[in-house]
Amino acid sequence: MTHPRATPAASTDSTQQAPSTGTHTGQTVPATGLTTAPSLADLRRHLTTQLDPAARTWLEHALDEAAAHPGVHGPISPWELRLAEAGRRCGAAHADAARVLILDAARAGTDALTRVYFQGTADERRAVLHALPHLVPGPGALPLVEDALRTNDTRLLTAAVGPYAARHLAAHDWRHAVLKCLFTGVPVEHVADLGRRAHGDGELARMLGDYAAERTAAGRPVPEDLYRVLDLTEPVPPTAGPADPHGKES
Amino acid sequence: MRIFDPHIHMTSRTTDDYEAMYAAGVRAVVEPSFWLGQPRTSPASFRDYFDSLLGWEPFRAAQYGIAHHCTIALNPKEANDPRCAPVLDELPRYLVKDNVVAVGEVGYDSMTPAEDTALATQLQLAADHGLPALVHTPHRDKLAGLRRTLDAVRESALPPERVLVDHLNETTVKEAKDSGCWLGFSVYPDTKMDEERMVAILRAYGTEQILVNSAADWGRSDPLKTRKVGDLMLAEGFGEDDVDQVLWRNPVAFYGLSGRLNLDVTGTAATHEGNSILRGVPKDPHEPDPAPTAPARLPGTEA
């Protein structure tokens, strides 16, 4: 494990606040300023207003069914079938949100999420990644994020750098994820909690500087986003004397 | 000219092909699962291939403004390998996926008992999942193979109007048409059909229920053959509407039988519409993605 200077361990701050049970119904994702990801209740409200009546009825039935019969039933559980067909039932624009809600209704934990991720299409995998911050309190689902970060599919990469990665991804892997966004053209606005994690990260600043130098040497433009992240790595200049690193917040 | 190639193995093609296909008018493809040239030895190898058809390949196509769907099956050749046949048990979980628009390609290669079993099993799977079937006709002993194929279709739960019989030619088109199935023709540089013979068949049999494909793969083949057929049709006196029927509306109608065809190319950029919703309510959720006038591509990719 690496220890970034002056950066608190990313995996401790939010999970400790998470209640051990009930996160899936109350959507009490710890509010640590982690991006603007909407709550499950927001998603539900959004779909209720946007889906056409047939799709809305389908989704309500799917959610009730998942809530009544979670877990594994036969080769393909009914809620997994609903997960697979959500795209053609709700439309591509609403499929991610519908799938996240189905996963929540089925109370999918790390094992179930891992199974449906690895048995899923790219669209289903993306939905699982979006569901992680809502459904998995600890770092147990990190292998899914790491798998998505190994792909070159920008839709998966975008979903992988969400709030769950911000909370749990180790510093080295997180820096490489940021760099991969710059390589593949994923806007860094999608990197959850970028400001907090980049702040004071000298190693990330070095990597960004090296990448900029490589681009410049090749006569290629440096992505605008690179400078944006580089700015965020700057420690805030001391205004009224250095902060006491051991002191509590006042 | 808008073109839907209803049978092309893009896994075996390069990004240059995607670029050239888009420039030629191709806006949609269906990639049937098939034999990769190197025989597989286990179901795991099939799973990775199917996952690619449902993951990486549609993403690659979308970058070039092309909608990508697939058909899933155990192909006839590998149905004969007992190490591969168990993948039949895993097909149901793939056949429920959004981008799967048919079971295929199934059919005969050497007309063995194992192929009989695989074909019958998979025609039943198509019926069970509300999917049409793409049925390949054999390269060797073709007319006998067609007759045995049509017998298998008649004995199945799948009505002929939900079956596309592919790789037809002058010797097999009549019986295939009489069966009520959809008619597929693969236009190749050296084998199967060529443009001139294809136009002659269209003149003799009309444009209804006929689909033309390039079936381009890892062999000598040409992903622009669909366009070349369209050009020759126009030069030989067919109208724009005839070309549109053969190269667009017929494949849309056939694969549309699945109820899963989605011809909007979304997700060409990292800010996929689906993502934007999970990051806050979109400005106007009913506004469709603008059709890409030029494909949005990644600035750089790493291997």
Q: Does residue B303 have a pLDDT over 70? A: no
Q: Does residue A73 have a pLDDT over 50? A: yes
Write the pLDDT tens digit of every residue in B220-263.
Answer: 999 999 999 999 999 999 999 999 999 999 999 999 999 999 99
* Confidence band for A239, pLDDT divided at 50, 70 and 90: low
> Does A87 contact B270 at a Cβ distance shorter than 8 Å?
no
- The verdict on B129 touching A (C-beta cutoff 8 Å) is no
Q: Which of A118, A123, A49, A43 has the alpha carbon at shortest distance from A83? A: A123
Question: Which among B56, B270, B298 has the least Cβ separation from residue A187?
Answer: B270
Q: What is the pLDDT of residue A67?
A: 97
**Residues in chain B within 8 Å Cβ distance of A154:** 59, 269-270, 298
* Confidence band for A237, pLDDT divided at 50, 70 and 90: low
Q: Does residue B296 have a pLDDT over 60? A: no
* Confidence band for A36, pLDDT divided at 50, 70 and 90: low
The tokens for A212 are 């900029």
Q: What is the pLDDT of residue B265?
A: 82
Domains of chain B: 3-264 (3.20.20.140)
**Residues in chain A within 8 Å Cβ distance of B274:** 92-97, 123, 126, 155
Worst-scoring range by mean pLDDT, A37-41, A61-65, A194-198, A239-243? Answer: A239-243
Distance from chain centroid for Cα A56 = 26
DSSP character at residue B245: I
pLDDT above 70 covers what percent of chain B? 87
Q: What is the pLDDT of residue B284?
A: 41
Worst-scoring range by mean pLDDT, A21-30, B37-46, B123-132, B266-275? Answer: A21-30
d(CA B1, CA B247): 9
Q: If you write DSSP's letter for every residue of A2-32 in order, what string do you get?
A: ---TT---TTTTTGGGS-SS-HHHH-----S
- Are residues A148 and A175 in contact, defined by beta-carbon separation less than 8 angstroms? no
Cβ count within 10 A of residue A244: 8
3-state secondary structure string across B204-228? HHCCCCEEEECCCCCCCCCCCHHHH
Write the pLDDT tens digit of every residue in B193-212.
Answer: 899 999 999 999 999 999 99
Question: Which among A85, A95, A155 has the least Cβ separation from residue B59?
Answer: A155
Mean of the per-residue pLDDT values of chain B: 90
